[in-house]
Amino acid sequence: MSPEVLISEVGPRDGLQSVAATMPTEHKKRWIAALHAAGLREIEVASFVPAKLLPQMADAAEVVAHALSLPGWTVMALVPNRKGAEAALKAGAHKLTLPVSASAAHSQANVRKSPLEMVDEVRAVLALRDELAPRAKVEAGISTAFGCTLQGVVPEDDVLRLAVALAEAGVDDVGLSDTTGMANPAQVRRLFRRLAAEIGDKAGAAHMHNTRGLGLANCLAAYDVGVRTFDSSLAGLGGCPYAPGASGNVVTEDLVFMFEAMGVRTGVDLGKLIAARGPLAAGLPGEPLHGMTPESGLPKNFTPAEAAHA
Amino acid sequence: MSPEVLISEVGPRDGLQSVAATMPTEHKKRWIAALHAAGLREIEVASFVPAKLLPQMADAAEVVAHALSLPGWTVMALVPNRKGAEAALKAGAHKLTLPVSASAAHSQANVRKSPLEMVDEVRAVLALRDELAPRAKVEAGISTAFGCTLQGVVPEDDVLRLAVALAEAGVDDVGLSDTTGMANPAQVRRLFRRLAAEIGDKAGAAHMHNTRGLGLANCLAAYDVGVRTFDSSLAGLGGCPYAPGASGNVVTEDLVFMFEAMGVRTGVDLGKLIAARGPLAAGLPGEPLHGMTPESGLPKNFTPAEAAHA
């Protein structure tokens, strides 16, 4: 039976670019293969950014090539601009994701462009995609969609206006990211409902953070209003943690456990997913791994969703 | 404006009886006063059990007396049986809570009685209450309501049958406890909906654990189907943690943050609540404190529910 939700693993990109150490390429390949073996069907494996800015991502093209050698999944790469997109498309990535901040302050600080200038950049990427690799998909992820550490509240209308502009520019889908861990379930439901009302089936993924412990509650809230793609990171790696012990990204293991326990098929094998922490730990010695389900284990007589439906 | 949800703090009972160290009585009093100052309006302050079994609770009567000296809140005590109830009622507790396990295996292991034999014990407690302190309330908390580490799955019909028996016996309310951290949001919604359908306004609190990271998602799910009382523990203290770093009880700070951020009034001042970690830490040196919101702080320009409504 086909999965009912798509878990989009972002650890090899979002996670690895957030830690100080650089995982050696061979270790990245082993980790990515383990994630594939666990049944994940979408993965963000690299950022195409200058190696002097993010040395952790200097092997992006090689890592994408490796991920493409594994069948039946979507290989994504983050690109900040047209130049990165060119490299990612040449490497053969199935899908590009472009972060576009809804907060003017965050956008300036991050890419020295306003949100609307970023929409122009997205248009340039789309034109390039049409030229170089017309079958590749382009996603825009609206960062700081639920609040910003610089400007505080981000008006919901600003987020929606930006989403509409991106959809009209021609992206395949628009996701909403809680970059700063400020989202709450009521807000998540409001914004994703409005997003679907405005841009229909271009409404994309929920990228939630666990900064204040609400990551899974916010994913549940998004699921309740029809979101079916969820970004998360194995062992909660990455996502700009604020404090020691505070994970940023939603932990893939706990997210998959939640859905499977609810009877919602993820297509992911929880045992193999937890086993994929091994190659992650081997490639990043000493890095703390988050996640409650791996520590406590699965409940006695646990029934995954597929078996529960059968 | 009056609170829309009742946060029932269980740390001084559930938390303190789960840790190896004993908090000195004077420290307990200071901590309880800090919790009161934060705006909490219900608190479980002690267990009335033999001091040789739980030396941490040997000062239960004195702690109850202190809590009763603080105005405007409900002072609860856990009692396992008629004997404990007698002591708690004589100490003046406003409300007793009796754990009754839905799992026959857990019930035998814990109190050497079947669930139905425990209903008889609850009847004896109610008779005593009518005699000694007719204004005191009695709550039954159904433990292992969402699964059991001994027997695995606990049939929902068993839980509902027990809840009806307890309501018919005359308890004031019946809560459901995820003693083992096995609950998921779909199950939480099903069971609390059925509970309300069966026993109406005797349907009580959600006592969720964060063993597998789903504590807040399960509280949200319970809220969605009408639950308005939530048990939680400051700093996530207690609740039978399974593994180092894995907190058991839902963290009060994160739970209050979730509701306040959603615009749901808790009556609790988040700053003062986080400050109440000070006396907890002072009374239990070296004990790890959980909670993401205290570590990351409140979001920039955070608006609590009361101000948002104003």
Chain A nearest CA to B216, separation (Å): 6
pLDDT for A120 equals 97
Q: B187 vs A262: CB contact, 8 Å cut-off?
A: yes
pLDDT digits (tens, 9 = 90+) for B201-218: 999 999 999 999 999 999
Q: B296 vs A152: CB contact, 8 Å cut-off?
A: no
B219: its two tokens: 């509280």
Over range A43-57, report the average pLDDT: 95
Domain residues of chain A, as ranges? 6-172+229-238+250-309
Q: A217 vs B213: CB contact, 8 Å cut-off?
A: no
Q: A213 vs B261: CB contact, 8 Å cut-off?
A: no
pLDDT at position B244 over 50: no
User: Is A148 an annotated catalytic residue?
Assistant: no
pLDDT digits (tens, 9 = 90+) for A218-227: 999 999 999 9
Over range B174-184, report the average pLDDT: 95
pLDDT digits (tens, 9 = 90+) for B2-17: 999 999 999 999 999 9
Q: A216 vs B216: CB contact, 8 Å cut-off?
A: yes
Q: B292 vs A244: CB contact, 8 Å cut-off?
A: no
A6-172+229-238+250-309 has which CATH code? 3.20.20.70
Class of domain B6-309 as given by CATH: alpha beta
- Band (A245; pLDDT cuts 50, 70, 90): very low
Residue B220: list chain A partners with CB under 8 A.
185, 217, 220-221
pLDDT at position A240 over 90: no
pLDDT for B111 equals 86
pLDDT for B246 equals 44
Average pLDDT, chain B: 94
Backbone angles phi, psi at B35, to 5 degrees: -65, -40
Residue B245: list chain A partners with CB under 8 A.
295
pLDDT at position A241 over 80: no
CB-closest option in A187, A243, A301 to B153 = A301
pLDDT at position A172 over 60: yes
Cα–Cα dist B190/B192, whole Å: 6
Cβ-Cβ pairs closer than 8 A, A with B, add up to 133
pLDDT at position A74 over 70: yes
Residue A295: list chain B partners with CB under 8 A.
242-246
Q: A187 vs B262: CB contact, 8 Å cut-off?
A: yes
Over range A1-9, report the average pLDDT: 94
Residues B37, B240, B289, B298: which is the catalytic one?
B240
Backbone angles phi, psi at A116, to 5 degrees: -70, -35
Over range A125-144, report the average pLDDT: 98
Chain B nearest CA to A188, separation (Å): 10
What are the CA-CA distances from residue B17 to residues B27, B58, B222, B240 (Å)? 15, 10, 26, 10
Give the three-state DSSP class for B259. Answer: helix
CB-closest option in B184, B263, B301 to A186 = B263
pLDDT for B248 equals 87
What are the CA-CA distances from residue A107 to residues A102, A126, A150, A155, B265 (Å)? 7, 20, 10, 15, 33
The interface pTM score, or ipTM, of the predicted complex is: 0.95
pLDDT digits (tens, 9 = 90+) for A99-126: 999 999 999 988 899 999 999 999 999 9
Chain A nearest CA to B307, separation (Å): 15
pLDDT at position B307 over 90: no
Average pLDDT, chain A: 94
Question: What is the end-to-end Cα distance of chain B in Å, rounded?
Answer: 9
pLDDT at position B243 over 60: no
Backbone angles phi, psi at A241, to 5 degrees: -60, 145
- Band (A244; pLDDT cuts 50, 70, 90): very low
Chain A nearest CA to B197, separation (Å): 21
Over range A218-238, report the average pLDDT: 97
Over range B85-110, report the average pLDDT: 95
Q: A181 vs B261: CB contact, 8 Å cut-off?
A: no
Element (H, E) at B44: strand B42-47
pLDDT for A243 equals 42
pLDDT at position B41 over 90: yes
Over range A223-250, report the average pLDDT: 81
Residue B182: list chain A partners with CB under 8 A.
261, 299
Q: A284 Cβ partners below 8 Å, 6+ apart? A: A16, A19, A21, A23, A27, A237
Chain B nearest CA to A214, separation (Å): 7
